[in-house]
Structure 1
Amino acid sequence: MAKTILITGASSGLGAGMAREFAGKGYNLALCARRLERLESLKQEIESKYAVRVEVRTLDVTDYDQVFVVFKAFQQDFGQIDRIIVNAGIGNGRRIGKGNFAINRETAETNFISALAQCEAAVEIFRAQNSGHLVVMSSMSAMRGLPKHLSTYAASKAAVAHLAEGIRAELMKTPIKVSTIFPGYIRTELNEGAKKLPFEIDEKTGAHLLVKAIEKQPVKAYVPQWPWLPLGLAMKVLPLSLVNKLG
């Protein structure tokens, strides 16, 4: 029987890209995001190419109660959810102390509190099944505190990485696996207006490499591995003045 993957934030960018890649590998898909019309067209596109089942539902991950409702509904659709990818997030952020608390708060809440809700809902399902693979999308920015518009974003992604590691510690002696993924700069809709970023790759390449990494069920993965694995180690020990230059 085909396995099922649930992906949040699946209507565009890396969420949609990973959905296409996993469909190509024969997985059934439970896809949710805020924009239903985009999910519907992605469902049609995938089902016309691959012999897989795709179910879609609207979900704003900042509606915490709804996260639990939608995840449970997907579990009822398919009977079992084998992998849940906590992917929904936003790339907003402003310099601290410049009067933009509301934007920074939204970034922190969407990238961390909403991720906590998704992890709670996912692990509840996996505990009941006594199986599953939780995948949490962090970021290379989680390695250190970063300046300018990245301060809150980097902090939220560091928080989510620690959360995933704590869940993994809790579930270590169970059949439930937990992976933390640290993508480097991948050009998507989220950052299409930004300047060219160091070592950036395009969305299609990024989605392909993410899926390749996730399939191995790693404890943690840096994507792409080169140059981000060595850079990640360096970022932890380099002077902050040098790390700043990566932002």
Structure 2
Amino acid sequence: MTDRTTILITGASSGLGEGMARRWAAAGKNLALCARRLDRLEELRDELVAANPSIRVAVRELDVADGAAVERVFAELDDELGGIDRFVLNAGLGKGASLGTGKAHANRETAMVNAVGTLNQAEAAMEIMRPRDAGHLVFISSVSGLRGMPKAQNTYGATKAFVSALAQGLYAELDSAGSGITVTDILPGYIRTDINRSVKTSLMTEFEPGVDALVKTIDDEPVRALVPAKPWKAIGPLLTALPEKVSRRFV
């Protein structure tokens, strides 16, 4: 495990992104925080620095669907903080509806942020890390990407499958080349945040233990992990192996 000192997190104004920022700030990490809600980021920055005076926190307003903006902001933050050594691609949307029900705009927005937005972030982060041949790139996917999801989660799950495939392909490329860049594909299960507010399941993990598990797993820098391990390490393989009519009972 490499000790990372400066971490960029997208989607940091709420939910898992904010939770991760709080944990790493308490651990003395410098942070680059991005989201569309700049006012919330500024409040969070002030709070984190007040509680942890030894760290530096830089914030930027960012829409990850804007590729040019992502490239510019990542470069600015890298320069401002003297080099980012972990990028956590966390920004995401959970909007959606059954296909053909008149809410295509919600599905399109989710696809743009989760799929195209993640691609934009990966491109920008890799442009920074490739010349250094060092760093840690973390893709935040979801157990919802393990197989097709019904109704409102259909598009969301499909975008998360894209995220995992992107992470796995990049890992294969870099590993075969002997690169010093580490790639991690994280698949969170149901953790109680706003994005999961409409999900009814007995497999929901409460927010604080969920974030604790997420940060610990990322710090371990695995190639791929389902978080929290209990129960998803056991359930995950079942979602891909069992017949669809059986596996849907787990989600």
The two structures have a TM-score, normalised by structure 1, of 0.96
The answer to whether the aligner puts 1:157 opposite 2:160 as a matched pair is: yes
Does structure 2 conserve the Cα–Cα contact (< 8 Å) formed by 1:30 and 1:56? yes
Aligned pair count reads 246
The answer to whether the aligner puts 1:91 opposite 2:80 as a matched pair is: no
CA distance in 1, matches of 2:157, 2:121: 19
Other-structure match for 2:230:
226
Other-structure match for 1:68:
71
Task: Trace 1:1-247 onto structure 2 (pairs within 5 A).
Answer: 3-50=5-52, 51-172=54-175, 173-192=178-197, 194-247=198-251
- Alpha-carbon offset, residue 190 of structure 1: 2.0
- In structure 2, the CA distance between the partners of 1:219 and 1:195, relative to structure 1 (3 Å rule), is closer
Does structure 2 conserve the Cα–Cα contact (< 8 Å) formed by 1:2 and 1:28? no
- Across the aligned residues of Structure 1 and Structure 2, the Cα RMSD in angstroms comes to 1.3
CA distance in 2, matches of 1:60, 1:48: 27
CA distance in 1, matches of 2:75, 2:17: 20
- Alpha-carbon offset, residue 201 of structure 1: 1.3
CA distance in 1, matches of 2:56, 2:201: 37
- Alpha-carbon offset, residue 189 of structure 1: 2.0
2:136 aligns to what SS in structure 1?
strand
CA distance in 2, matches of 1:129, 1:203: 35
1:245 aligns to what SS in structure 2?
helix
Does structure 1 conserve the Cα–Cα contact (< 8 Å) formed by 2:86 and 2:137? yes
Does structure 2 conserve the Cα–Cα contact (< 8 Å) formed by 1:80 and 1:129? no
- Alpha-carbon offset, residue 150 of structure 1: 1.0
CA distance in 1, matches of 2:211, 2:128: 26
Which digits, 9 at most, give the CA deviation of each residue in 1:85-115, with x for residues without a partner?
0000001111112222221111111110110
- Alpha-carbon offset, residue 23 of structure 1: 1.0
Unmatched tracts of structure 2, length 5 or more: none
Does structure 1 conserve the Cα–Cα contact (< 8 Å) formed by 2:56 and 2:81? no
Task: Give the letter aligned to residue 7 of structure 2.
Answer: I
Does structure 2 conserve the Cα–Cα contact (< 8 Å) formed by 1:185 and 1:198? no
1:52 aligns to what SS in structure 2?
coil
Does structure 1 conserve the Cα–Cα contact (< 8 Å) formed by 2:190 and 2:196? no
Task: Give the letter aligned to residue 174 of structure 2.
Answer: L
Which digits, 9 at most, give the CA deviation of each residue in 1:50-71, with x for residues without a partner?
1211011110111221000000
Does structure 2 conserve the Cα–Cα contact (< 8 Å) formed by 1:91 and 1:153? yes
Which digits, 9 at most, give the CA deviation of each residue in 1:149-181, with x for residues without a partner?
111111100011000111111111110000000
Identity of aligned residues (%): 48
- Alpha-carbon offset, residue 195 of structure 1: 4.5
Task: Give the letter aligned to residue 215 of structure 2.
Answer: V
- In structure 2, the CA distance between the partners of 1:195 and 1:146, relative to structure 1 (3 Å rule), is closer
- Alpha-carbon offset, residue 196 of structure 1: 3.5
2:130 aligns to what SS in structure 1?
helix
Unmatched tracts of structure 1, length 5 or more: none
CA distance in 2, matches of 1:145, 1:36: 34
Does structure 2 conserve the Cα–Cα contact (< 8 Å) formed by 1:7 and 1:30? yes
CA distance in 2, matches of 1:170, 1:85: 19
1:95 aligns to what SS in structure 2?
coil
CA distance in 2, matches of 1:15, 1:195: 19
